[in-house]
Every structure is written in C-alpha cells, then in structure tokens.
Amino acid sequence: MTDVQQTDSDQPIVRIFDTTLRDGEQSPGASLNRAAKLEIARKLERLGVDIIEAGFPITSNDDFEAVKAISGEVSECTVAGLARCVEKDILRAAEAVREARHPRIHVFCATSKIHREHKLKRAREEILKMSVEGVKLAKRFVEDVEFSPEDASRTEIDFLAEVVEATIAAGATTVNIPDTVGYTTPERFHQIITELRERVANIDQAVISVHCHNDLGLAVANSLSAILAGARQVECTINGIGERAGNAALEEIVMALKVRNDHYGATTRIETARLYPLSRTVASLTGISVQRNKAIVGRNAFAHEAGIHQHGVMQHAETYEIMRPEDVGVPASELVLGKHSGRHAFRDRLEQLGHRLNDEQIDEAFVQFKELADKKKEVFDEDIDAIVEGMITEVPVSWEIVSLQTTAGGGVIATATIRLRDVKQDRIVQDAATGDGPVDAVYSVIQRITGVTVKLKEYELRAITGGKEAQAEVLIKVQQNGRTVRGRAYSVDIVEASAKAYLNAINTMIALEGVSTEAPEGV
C-alpha cells in the first residue's frame, strides 16, 4: 500500500479519519452551527486525527461555509469534503476545501445491486463510469482523492474489485470500503478486505480505508477486523454518533489498538488523553449524551461499584482496570472550583478540560463562572463545559432577556411576566401571559413579544451536575414552515434555562429567515 507510515517501533500507523462533522452530524437530532463545528475541528486537530471530514458541501450553504471555515483554520491534518460522483457536488466540494493546507475530496457512488436498482436505477457499467469520472474530476482540483463504493459490503465481490481497481487507476489515493448499513460481520469483512488485496492488481497504489456503521453493534469489531486484514485508515466518529445506530466510535478503536497493541500490532497518532474532554464537547454541542456505560468515555467506564472490585483497585489498579483513567483524559477529581477560586485556577482547569481560549474569552468565561459560583457552592467540570459551550454561538442575537418573573403552583394559574430587549431597535418590550405551567406561560409571552410563532417539537431537561444546586440544561427543538432548529441554554433555574433555550431557537429562526433548507436528492 502507498504511503503507509511506520512508527518508531516499526508498526504501521492506522490513519484516523474522523467524520463526526459529516456522518456524525447526520445523526437524528444532531445539528451543529458553524462555530460549534469549528470548535470541534480545532479539538480534533489537537487530538491528532489525520483527516477531518468537515461536511458535505452541496447539501446546504451552512455546510459549505463550515467546510470552508475549517479548511482555512486547520493546518495539521487533511480536510475532506464529501461529494457524490456528480459534477455540481464535486465543484462545490473543491471550492469548499480550496484553502485547506491538505485538501481532500471524498467522492462516493453506491455499488450494491439493491442501491443500483432501487436508488440510482443504473446498470453496473454506468456506475463504473460515474465512479471513474467522479474521481477524475475531483483529481483536477486536488491530488488527494478518496473514493467510496457505498454499500460495498453488500456489493458482489467481483464488481467491487472492478470498481476499486478502476477508481485507483483513475487517481484515487484512498479507497474506502463502507459497511453502509452495518450488515457485515468481523469474519466476513476480514475476508472482503483480504480478497480486495488479492484481486485488485493496483491495490498497493492506494490506502485501504473502512467505514463501518453500528446497526448490529459491530462497527468497532468490524473496523478492527479490517485492520487485521490490512486496512490502514478507519473512518469513525467521536462517541460513535452517526446515521441511525451510529458509526464506529473513534475512542474505542484507538484504545483497542493501544491497549491490545500486542494483538493488533498497529498504532495511531492520537493523543489519547484528549479523548474524554472531546467526547464531552461533542456530547454537549450535539445534544446527544453519552450512555453511562459507554466504553472509554462513559461516566461509569472507570467507576467501581462492587466492594470486591474497589478493594482490588485500591491494592493494584490493574486488577480491574485495563487502562488508567488519565490515559483517556478522565480528570482525577470531578469537584473543582468554588466562589473563592481565582482566575489562575480557573484557567488551569479550562486547560485540563481541553478548552483553549484566548485571554479575552477567559475573562468572559471567568465572569460567568463567578456569577455561577455565587449561585451554587460547587462548580463542577460540566458547569465549566457549559459556560464555554454557551459562549460558542454565532447566532446573531435579535432578542435578549432583561427580566423574567413567573408565578405557578398551589392552584394558581401559571403566569409569566417578561421584559425582552429588541437588540436591533434598542428598545425594551414587556408583556405577560398565562399558560399550562410556567414554561408554557413563558413561551407564550416570548412568542407574543417577538412575533415569531414556532411549534415546540421537543423539550429535554437534564441536570448537568449532581445535587440540588445542579445546573439545568434545556434542549429544545422548534419548527416553523418545515424548518427545525434547536435551542439550548443552561441555568441553575429551570424556567430561566427554558426561556433562554426558547429565545436561542427563536434568534436562530430569525437569523435563518430566507436561507434555503433544501437537501439534494438521492443522498
């Protein structure tokens, strides 16, 4: 295979291709604004991934702009933009990655019988031609072209080998073998990669990549099996987010290669101590929380409940721990700061949690931290994450809350009185309304004052830290004329967090007015 680096120990390096911002963002319920994508991209770069798939530029203006912004900012790793083997997709992807120091265009075309016949309605020869032409067109803009035969694991092996060989001949430098619907098994996938290596005459001119979905819970196992068979790039996402049941989890693949290096004999460039902080950033920015017992980054991953286990770990950690919490960046203690903590301690903790802010941002975060510390005695890591993530917004604020008062409970009709500032016109508007509970009353007033009518589709409330002084996080989804946007906010007061989240969504809705929501067909 081409250009597969070796480590000092002479082990091959498996390239980590992160698709959190593309396939991950396709997760039901996840959608990230440009600022959030940039924040994740910067952290992926620091984590040490080799390739960031930053988006699918043809799908929307937002996606295009996000890929462009990431291309302009990330310099240590390759930035890839996805495109179908369709001229307009490839031109758009080429434009989006133009400023990247290491640009890649990733073109794909479905090859399996079921996709050929029912989705693309094209014969094998046409698919082959589209794939080759797609690679050739992409190659006119960038040297680094990846080709994916979508649904490869359900494609007839002879046709798959033919397409792979033809696309490498056309200039593909990476050929990615996706298990698009999470159907394959570790044994079968090993065989597919082995057969491709045996049958495709020019296979040594490209890096073999794999891209596994988790419909049967086998995405990580399938990826690792492919590595044993010779794959040297894996496509994965932080926390395993992605279409349907998700993609292979980056942190699981990386730690399996590290902890079981004796078995896999391959390594990655990932700085594993950055895994946990990034997992939390992604959970928080996408609103998709990590299950408690999730391997590597779940809250319980290093918690020992049974007395016999606790005793064992205290005597010798390796009795029940195959890796140390610090190897993946789980902080030694969760309880951090209080109202007497100074700026220095606050800045140190920000760094430990993986937040790299400039001085101005630290000042802003510190003011918010002090306000929070006045309201609650103990400020936990999650509170600090929430402060930082609350700052990562680029939605222009049209309306902001000046004051909010509610009365509810004990047989009283819930009432809300709110004063909002109309930022553009610099005026204060006050109104009051009743509702079925305080949150409903608050939402009615906000709609009345702003004049923006939206339908509340989802409302999720969660405590982000423990105890009765926990900060609440409210995540909502609202809809207007077929467009759905998310709102998110934090506060120690549930009603205030609900109001802020709602206003956040309304501000987004106002900012998006006139922006198209169309997605291309056949994706």
Q: Is 490 in the site for ligand KIV (CB under 6 A)?
A: no
**Binding residue for ligand KIV, selected from 27, 180, 507, 508, defined by CB under 6 A:** 180
DSSP 382-450: HHHHHHHHHH------SEEEEEEEEEEETTEEEEEEEEEEETTTTEEEEEEEEESSHHHHHHHHHHHHH
Q: Is 178 in the site for ligand KIV (CB under 6 A)?
A: yes
Residue 311's CB is within 10 A of a number of other CB atoms, namely 12
Joined tokens for residue 362: 């630290």
- Burial letters 244-283, b for 16+ CB under 10 A, else e: eebbbbbbbbbbbbbeeeeebebbbbbebbbbbbbbbbbb
**Positions in 183-222 near ligand KIV (CB under 6 A):** 211, 213
- Alpha-carbon distance of 154 to 91, in angstroms, equals 29
Q: Give the phi and the psi of residue 112 in degrees, each rounded to 5.
A: -70, 155
Residue 150 interacts with which of Zn ion, ligand KIV, none, CB < 5 to 8 Å by class: ligand KIV
- Least separation in angstroms between CB 226 and ligand KIV: 14
Residue 64 interacts with which of ligand KIV, Zn ion, none, CB < 5 to 8 Å by class: none
**Positions in 8-47 near Zn ion (CB under 5 A):** 23
Q: Is 148 in the site for ligand KIV (CB under 6 A)?
A: yes
Q: Toward Zn ion, which CB reaches closer, 23 or 382?
A: 23
Residue 43 interacts with which of Zn ion, ligand KIV, none, CB < 5 to 8 Å by class: none
Cα torsion 468, 276, 36, 42 to 10°: value is: 150
**Binding residue for ligand KIV, selected from 17, 64, 108, 490, defined by CB under 6 A:** 108
Q: Toward ligand KIV, which CB reaches closer, 11 or 185?
A: 185
Residue 20 interacts with which of Zn ion, ligand KIV, none, CB < 5 to 8 Å by class: none
Residue 264 interacts with which of Zn ion, ligand KIV, none, CB < 5 to 8 Å by class: none
- Alpha-carbon distance of 238 to 252, in angstroms, equals 9
Stretch of 32-40, 175-183, 269-277, 322-330 contacting ligand KIV, by CB under 6 A: 175-183
**Binding residue for ligand KIV, selected from 18, 23, 165, 385, defined by CB under 6 A:** 23
Burial of 456 (C-beta count, 10 Å sphere; 0-12/13-18/19+) = middle
Burial of 48 (C-beta count, 10 Å sphere; 0-12/13-18/19+) = middle
- Least separation in angstroms between CB 467 and ligand KIV: 41
- Least separation in angstroms between CB 202 and ligand KIV: 21
Q: Toward ligand KIV, which CB reaches closer, 96 or 386?
A: 96
- Alpha-carbon distance of 160 to 184, in angstroms, equals 15
- Least separation in angstroms between CB 167 and ligand KIV: 13
Residue 148 interacts with which of Zn ion, ligand KIV, none, CB < 5 to 8 Å by class: ligand KIV
Joined tokens for residue 277: 């902080």
Q: Toward ligand KIV, which CB reaches closer, 242 or 487?
A: 242
CB 501 within 8 A of CB 476: yes
* Positive/negative CA dihedral, 44, 50, 52, 53: negative
- Alpha-carbon distance of 247 to 53, in angstroms, equals 13
Q: Toward Zn ion, which CB reaches closer, 79 or 441?
A: 79
Size of the site for ligand KIV (CB under 6 A): 9
- Alpha-carbon distance of 78 to 235, in angstroms, equals 13
Residue 104 interacts with which of Zn ion, ligand KIV, none, CB < 5 to 8 Å by class: none
Give the per-residue contact string, 53-92, with ligand KIV (x = CB under 6 A; - = no): ----------------------------------------
Residue 80's CB is within 10 A of a number of other CB atoms, namely 34
Q: Toward ligand KIV, which CB reaches closer, 94 or 386?
A: 94
380's enclosing H/E stretch is strand 379-380
For binding to Zn ion (CB under 5 A), which residues are involved? 23
For binding to ligand KIV (CB under 6 A), which residues are involved? 23, 108, 148, 150, 176, 178, 180, 211, 213
